[in-house]
C-alpha cells in the first residue's frame, strides 16, 4: 500500500529515488511523485505509473541531494495529479509523503478550515502536513517538535517522511502501523517502505518501531525518539536479501519468474528444518513454544486473501496430523467480531508481507487476551513477525509480482512441517506414516519442477479460454482451498470473473450457472473421494459445461470424461495442493498475458495491504 522512498547524503537524490520507486511500484501504482531540495523545494507528481513521472520530469530541475518520493495506492481521493504525493504545506516550505490512513483527518481538516486553511487535494495526508506547519508557526516550535505534537493528535496509521526548505540537512521520518525501514550507509541515509530500494546502497538497516520519529541528518547522525519524547537507541540489522532476487532474470514478468522459482523456494522453506534421511522435522523458530501447540485446545488461523487459502490447507493438515481443532478466520472479520479467545488458544498468523493491517490487528487482539501467537511470514523483520511470540519465516525470497504465487506454496510447506512436527511429538501420527510423509515432502521440489514442464500445454489451453467471461473452480478436501486460490489468481490478474467452491456445494446453487459457455476447472486427484469427484464432473457434463481436470498421472476414469486434462505427478493427498496449484497459476498467467493485462501490477491492487 503506497511506496515511500527518501534519501539524504552526498549523491544526487533523484536517480536513487526513481530506482527505489520502481522497486516499490508493486505496492501501489496509481500515481507517483517526488520532491527535491536544492536551495528551493521542487515538487513533481502525476497520476499513473512511475514511468509517467519520469516523462514529467524529463525537462525539469531534478538536482539536489536530499529528496522524498512516493508511489500511491489511493485511499482518500481518486488517483489524479492533485491527490498524488508528495503534498506541500501551506507555505510550500514543507513536503510530506505518507503511507497509511489518518482516521480522524475529517475532524482535523474542519478545525484547520475554521482557522482559514484551504486544501488542494482530497487526501488525509495534506491535512497532516497542514497541521504540522500550523503547529510549527503558531506554537513556535522546531520541525521535529511540530511533528511530534501533530502525531499525538493523529488517530490511524502512518509511515511518513517530511522534507523542509528551512532544514536542508535533515529529513524526519515517523511510523505507526505502516512499515518504515532506514538504510544506514556511509554518510548517507535512505528511508523506504521496505528494504528493496535500500539494498543497492547498504545492508545495514534500522526498522522503525511503533510511534517512533527519526531525525536523519546529513552529518550521518540518526536520532530516534518516540512521539512521547522517549529517547530510543537505533538497532542496526543486517539485510540478508540478494539483489538478484529483485530482478526479472530474463523472465517476461516477475510473476512467471516467481512461479518458476517454486522448486527452489519450497526447498528453501524446508532447509535446515527437514532431514528426511534422519527422520527429523524441527522448526527452530517455534521450539520454545512447541508445548503451547502440543497442548493447544484449539488453533485459530488468521490471514487474508491467498494467505487465508493457505490457512485453509493448514486446517486440513493440523486436524489430520495433530487432532487439534482448527478455525480459519478472515483477519478482518475476526478482529471486529468480539471473538472468544482462550489463553490456551494458539493463533497462527499467515502473511507474505507481514504487514497486512487486518492480520496485524487480529494478532494484537488475540495477544491481548493471552493467546500464543505464531507467525508465518515471508518478509524478515516485518511487523507481524515482530508482534508474534514465535514463528517461522517462509524464506521464499522477495515476492514482487502482486499476485502471490511462491509465497502460497511456501506457506503450505511451513504449515505441513509444523503439523508434522507437532503431530509426531504429540503421538497423533504413527512412526511409519511420519516417515512416509517426510519422504514425500522431501520429493516435492522435484515434482514441482516436473509440473512446471506442463507450461506449454497450459499456454495452449489458455488460448482456448482467454475470451470467456466466467470460470468455476471446484475441489474437495485439500483441493477445495486450491480451487479458491485458482479462482482468485485468475480474477485478480485477468479480470475474468471466477469462483471457487467445494465440489459438492456446486449443486446447492452455482450449478445454475453451468451451460456450454462455462469452463469448470476441477481438481480431481482425490483418493478418498475420487468417485464423488467423478459424480461432480458428470453433473457438469450433463449441463454441457466444459471440464478442465487436474488429475494424477495415469488417471483413466476422469480422463474419459473431461474435455481437457492436466496430469500432475502422484503424491499423497495432503501434499497435492503444492502441485495442483502450479498449473492453475500458469493458466491464470497465460490467460492474463493473452488478454493484454498488466500481470505484475493488476489494476486496483497492491502488494502489501497496510490499510483496513
Question: Of these, 385, 609, 610, 611, which contacts ligand F6R (CB under 6 A)?
Answer: 609
Crossing angle (nearest 10°) for helices 576-594 and 431-452 = 20
Annotated catalytic, 597? no
The DSSP-derived string for 118-138 is --SSS-HHHHHHHHHHHHHHH
Q: Is 352 in the site for ligand F6R (CB under 6 A)?
A: yes
Query: CB 494 → ligand F6R: shortest distance, Å?
Result: 12
Q: Is 353 in the site for ligand F6R (CB under 6 A)?
A: yes
Q: Is 304 in the site for ligand F6R (CB under 6 A)?
A: yes
From the candidates 2, 304, 377, 597, give the one annotated as an active-site residue.
Answer: 2
Q: Nearest 5°: phi and psi at 55?
A: -65, -40
Q: Nearest 5°: phi and psi at 163?
A: -120, 145
Alpha-carbon gap, residue 68 to 199, rounded angstroms: 17
Closest Cα to residue 597, out of 403, 316, 387?
403
Length of the chain: 612
Q: Is 348 in the site for ligand F6R (CB under 6 A)?
A: no
Q: Which is nearer to ligand F6R, 27 or 98 (CB)?
A: 27
Q: Which is nearer to ligand F6R, 418 or 609 (CB)?
A: 609
Query: CB 366 → ligand F6R: shortest distance, Å?
Result: 16
Q: Which is nearer to ligand F6R, 29 or 105 (CB)?
A: 29
Q: Is 329 helix (H, G, I), strand (E, B) or coil?
A: strand
Largest CA distance in the chain: 81
Q: Is 351 in the site for ligand F6R (CB under 6 A)?
A: yes
CB atoms within 10 A of CB 6: 33
Question: Of these, 75, 123, 306, 413, which contacts ligand F6R (CB under 6 A)?
Answer: 306
Residue in the block written with cell 488461523: 301
Alpha-carbon gap, residue 205 to 191, rounded angstroms: 9
Which pairing describes strands 181-184 and 87-88: parallel, antiparallel, or unpaired? unpaired
Alpha-carbon gap, residue 193 to 562, rounded angstroms: 47
Alpha-carbon gap, residue 70 to 414, rounded angstroms: 34
From the candidates 175, 257, 406, 607, give the one annotated as an active-site residue.
Answer: 607
Q: Is 307 in the site for ligand F6R (CB under 6 A)?
A: yes
Cell numbers representing residue 312 in the block: 485453509
Q: Which is nearer to ligand F6R, 13 or 487 (CB)?
A: 487
Q: Is 262 in the site for ligand F6R (CB under 6 A)?
A: no
Q: Is 404 in the site for ligand F6R (CB under 6 A)?
A: yes
Query: CB 352 → ligand F6R: shortest distance, Å?
Result: 4
Query: CB 76 → ligand F6R: shortest distance, Å?
Result: 20
Q: Stretches 90-98, 226-234, 301-309, 419-427: which one binds ligand F6R (CB under 6 A)?
A: 301-309
Cell numbers representing residue 237 in the block: 540489522
Annotated catalytic, 292? no
Q: Nearest 5°: phi and psi at 250?
A: 90, -15
Residues 473-492 that bind ligand F6R (CB under 6 A): 488, 492
Q: Is 403 in the site for ligand F6R (CB under 6 A)?
A: yes
Residue in the block written with cell 488453533: 299
Question: Of these, 46, 75, 89, 356, which contacts ligand F6R (CB under 6 A)?
Answer: 356
Q: Which residues bind ligand F6R (CB under 6 A)?
A: 304-307, 351-353, 356, 359, 403-404, 488, 492, 608-609
Active site members: 2, 607
Amino acid at each position: 500500500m503506497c511506496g515511500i522512498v527518501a534519501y539524504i547524503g552526498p549523491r544526487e537524490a533523484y536517480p536513487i529515488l526513481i530506482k527505489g520507486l520502481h522497486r516499490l511500484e508493486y505496492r501501489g501504482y496509481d500515481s507517483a511523485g517526488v520532491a527535491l531540495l536544492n536551495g528551493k523545494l521542487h515538487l513533481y507528481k502525476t497520476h499513473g505509473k512511475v514511468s509517467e513521472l519520469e516523462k514529467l520530469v524529463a525537462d525539469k530541475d531534478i538536482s539536489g541531494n536530499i529528496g522524498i518520493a512516493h508511489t500511491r495506492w489511493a485511499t482518500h481521493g481518486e488517483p489524479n495529479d492533485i491527490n498524488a504525493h508528495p503534498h506541500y504545506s501551506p507555505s510550500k516550505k514543507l513536503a510530506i509523503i505518507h503511507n497509511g490512513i489518518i482516521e480522524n483527518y475529517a475532524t482535523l481538516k474542519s478545525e484547520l478550515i475554521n482557522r482559514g486553511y484551504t486544501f488542494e487535494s482530497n487526501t488525509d495526508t495534506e491535512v497532516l502536513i497542514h497541521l504540522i506547519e500550523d503547529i510549527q508557526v503558531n506554537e513556535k516550535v522546531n520541525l521535529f517538535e511540530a511533528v511530534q505534537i501533530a502525531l499525538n493528535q493523529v488517530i490511524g496509521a502512518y509511515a511518513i517522511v517530511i522534507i523542509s526548505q528551512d532544514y536542508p540537512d535533515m529529513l524526519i521520518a515517523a511510523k505507526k502501523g505502516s512499515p518504515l525501514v532506514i538504510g544506514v550507509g556511509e554518510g548517507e541515509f535512505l528511508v523506504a517502505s521496505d528494504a528493496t530500494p535500500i539494498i543497492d546502497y547498504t545492508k545495514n538497516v534500522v526498522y522503525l518501531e511503533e510511534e517512533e520519529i527519526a531525525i536523519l541528518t546529513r552529518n550521518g547522525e540518526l536520532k530516534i525518539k518516540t512521539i512521547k519524547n522517549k529517547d530510543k537507541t537505533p538497532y542496526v540489522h543486517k539485510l540478508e536479501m540478494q539483489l538478484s532476487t529483485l530482478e526479472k532474470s530474463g523472465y517476461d514478468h516477475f510473476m512467471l519468474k516467481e512461479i518458476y522459482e517454486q522448486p527452489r523456494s519450497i526447498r528453501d522453506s524446508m532447509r535446515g528444518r527437514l532431514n528426511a534421511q534422519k527422520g527429523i522435522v524441527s522448526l527452530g523458530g517455534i521450539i520454545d513454544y512447541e508445548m503451547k501447540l502440543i497442548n493447544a485446545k484449539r488453533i485459530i488461523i488468521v490471514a487474508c486473501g491467498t494467505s487465508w487459502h493457505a490457512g485453509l490447507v493448514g486446517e486440513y493438515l493440523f486436524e489430520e496430523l495433530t487432532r487439534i481443532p482448527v478455525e480459519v478466520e478472515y483477519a478482518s472479520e475476526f478482529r471486529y467480531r468480539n471473538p472468544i479467545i482462550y489463553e490456551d488458544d494458539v493463533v497462527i498468523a499467515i502473511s507474505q508481507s507481514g504487514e497486512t493491517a487486518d492480520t496485524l490487528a487480529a494478532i494484537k487482539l488475540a495477544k491481548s487476551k493471552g493467546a500464543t501467537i505464531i507467525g508465518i511470514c515471508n518478509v524478515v523483520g516485518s511487523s507481524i513477525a515482530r508482534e508474534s511470540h514465535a514463528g517461522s519465516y517462509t524464506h521464499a525470497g522477495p515476492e514482487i509480482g502482486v499476485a502471490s504465487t511462491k509465497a502460497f506454496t511456501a506457506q503450505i510447506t511451513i504449515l505441513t512441517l509444523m503439523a508434522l512436527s507437532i503431530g509426531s511429538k504429540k503421538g497423533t501420527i504413527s512412526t511409519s506414516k511420519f516417515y512416509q510423509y517426510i519422504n514425500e515432502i522431501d520429493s516435492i521440489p522435484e515434482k514441482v519442477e516436473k509440473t512446471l514442464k506442463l507450461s506449454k500445454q497450459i499456454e495452449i489451453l489458455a488460448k482456448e479460454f482467454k475470451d470467456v467471461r466466467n470460470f468455476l473452480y471446484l475441489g474437495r478436501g485439500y483441493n477445495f482451498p486450491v480451487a479458491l486460490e485458482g479462482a482468485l489468481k485468475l480474477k485478480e490478474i485477468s479480470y475474468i470473473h471466477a469462483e471457487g467452491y467445494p465440489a459438492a456445494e456446486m449443486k446447492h446453487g452455482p450449478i445454475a450457472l453451468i451451460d456450454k459457455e462455462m469452463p469448470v476447472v476441477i481438481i480431481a486427484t482425490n483418493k478418498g473421494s475420487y468417485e464423488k469427484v467423478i459424480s461432480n464432473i458428470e453433473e457438469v457434463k450433463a449441463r454441457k459445461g466444459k471440464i478442465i481436470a487436474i488429475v494424477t498421472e495415469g488417471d483413466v476414469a476422469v480422463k474419459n470424461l473431461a474435455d481437457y486434462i492436466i496430469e500432475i505427478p502422484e503424491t499423497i493427498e495432503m501434499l497435492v495442493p503444492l502441485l495442483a496449484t502450479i498449473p492453475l497459476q500458469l493458466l491464470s498467467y497465460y490467460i492474463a498475458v493473452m488478454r493484454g493485462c498488466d500481470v505484475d501490477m493488476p489494476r486496483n491492487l497492491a502488494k502489501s495491504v497496510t490499510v483496513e
